[in-house]
Amino acid sequence: MSSRVISPGVSSDGPNVRSLEAPGLRIGERIIKGLLWLAATLSVVVTSGIVISLLVPSIGFFQQVSLADFLTGTIWAPAFADPSFGVLPIVVGTLTVVFFAILIAVPVGLSSAIFLSEYASKRTRRTIKPILEVLEGLPTVAIGLFAFNVLTPVIRELTPFLPWTGPFSIGVAGITVGLLIVPLVASVSDDAMRSVPMALREGAYAMGATKFEVALKVVVPAAISGIIAAFVLGVSRAIGETMVVLLVAGAGNPVLSFDPTKGIQTMTAYIGSTATGDISQGTITYDSIFAVGALLFLMTLAMNILAIRMVKKYREVYD
């Protein structure tokens, strides 16, 4: 534009030509914009709040326990008279849950996604997708109770050769978390596969490929970054799952073990069960909740950033 408006309401071409710009400062508009900005910025405040709330007690914690002892110690006994804060047992507990969860969620979620995206008719899709969304919306307490009362006995019956002891099992907890994240894995990978352009499929069909080959050798590789994102998000969700683990793997037995038939404590179960007990502020046990929380936060943060990147990648390619 060559002629800029100099004063509001009056154009430089002369007083008779009305400007298209707003005649006033539009204070109301600015206030609204400011309020909306505040709402958007709140998320930054929340993140800062999380970081501060984790960091401050953690600093107090790490003044008494060295970071090296914390990360490499193999004995987790915060409530003992002679407490020990080696976080490895509960990290291994968490990783066991993640392992079993992925073992279930990736095959089940991915095959559901391939079916919905490549094979299902529009009508089937419209019925099945909402059902999967219902599964995603089910409360974790409910799923945990179901797993404890039904899944654990059934799996026990099916595998009598395993050395089952006690009512709790971290392996079953992992399988349950796996079922819980199936919808997440399915919907993220379904989105990725559906954003693969039709032309790629048609090209393959024209070359004589079968439906099976198109799905597995064209669509899945083309959507691979989205599928990896689904996997990573699933891992992140499994790391953070609390109620299922509390109910199925039990609240507290922090031993370093890879045995899936035992009830073993995880990071989230430690936080959940310790914080509900009567512990006073300022003790090292209280601070240990925050140290474990900080570790949990960092683990999921890394996963989430990775997943966001992977999703962005396929969006950039196809959208």
Partner 1 sequence: MADDSGYSSRVAMPARTRTAVGGAREVTEAMLASGDRRKRIRGVIFVSILLLGLTTALLSIAAMITWAFVAGGPRLNLDLFTNVPSVVSPETAGYRTAIFGTLYVIGGVILLIVPLGVGAAIYLEEFANPKNPFNRFVDLNIQNLAGVPSIVFGILGLAFIVRGPLSLGFVAAAGSLTLALLVLPTVILASREAIRAVPSSIRDGSLALGATVWQAVSRQVLPAAFPGVLTGVILAVARAIGEAAPLLLVGAVTFVTFDPSFFEGGYSTLPTMIYSYAKRPQEELQILAAAGVVVMLVLLILINSVAIYLRNRFERTW
Nearest distance from C-beta of residue 84 to partner 1, angstroms: 22
Q: Which of 7, 63, 111, 159 binds partner 1 (CB under 8 A)?
A: 111
Using the rule CB under 8 A, is 128 a contact of partner 1? yes
CB 144 within 8 Å of CB 247: yes
Give the residue with the Cβ less far from partner 1, 259 or 318: 318
Nearest distance from C-beta of residue 20 to partner 1, angstroms: 8
CB 47 within 8 Å of CB 286: no
Nearest distance from C-beta of residue 6 to partner 1, angstroms: 20
316 by Cβ neighbours in 10 Å (0-12 / 13-18 / 19+) ranks as: exposed
Using the rule CB under 8 A, is 281 a contact of partner 1? yes
Using the rule CB under 8 A, is 276 a contact of partner 1? yes
Instruction: State which of positions 178-207 bind partner 1 (CB under 8 A).
Output: 179, 182-183, 186
**Side-chain-side CA neighbours of residue 42 (13 Å):** 6
Give the residue with the Cβ less far from partner 1, 19 or 259: 19
With CB under 8 A as the contact rule, which of the stretches 8-16, 66-74, 77-85, 294-302 interacts with partner 1?
294-302
Beta-strand runs (E) in the chain: 10-11, 14-18, 76-77, 84-85
CB 105 within 8 Å of CB 182: yes
Nearest distance from C-beta of residue 75 to partner 1, angstroms: 23
Q: Lay out the site mask for partner 1 across 218-257 (x = CB under 8 A, - = otherwise).
A: ---------------x--xx-xxxxx--xx----------
Q: Lay out the site mask for partner 1 across 18-57 (x = CB under 8 A, - = otherwise).
A: ----x---x-xx--xx-xxxxxxxxxx-xx-xx-xxx-xx
Distances (CA, A) of 8 to 25, 30, 118: 9, 16, 58
Question: For residue 162, which amino acid is it?
Answer: L
Give the residue with the Cβ less far from partner 1, 69 or 213: 213
Give the residue with the Cβ less far from partner 1, 222 or 307: 307
Give the residue with the Cβ less far from partner 1, 47 or 66: 47
Nearest distance from C-beta of residue 271 to partner 1, angstroms: 5
| Structure-token pair, residue 312 | 């962005």
Q: Which of 95, 102, 177, 215 binds partner 1 (CB under 8 A)?
A: 215
Local structure of 85: helix, strand or coil = strand
Using the rule CB under 8 A, is 271 a contact of partner 1? yes
| Structure-token pair, residue 184 | 């997440």
Distances (CA, A) of 161 to 155, 156, 238, 258, 260: 11, 9, 27, 17, 13
CB 190 within 8 Å of CB 117: yes
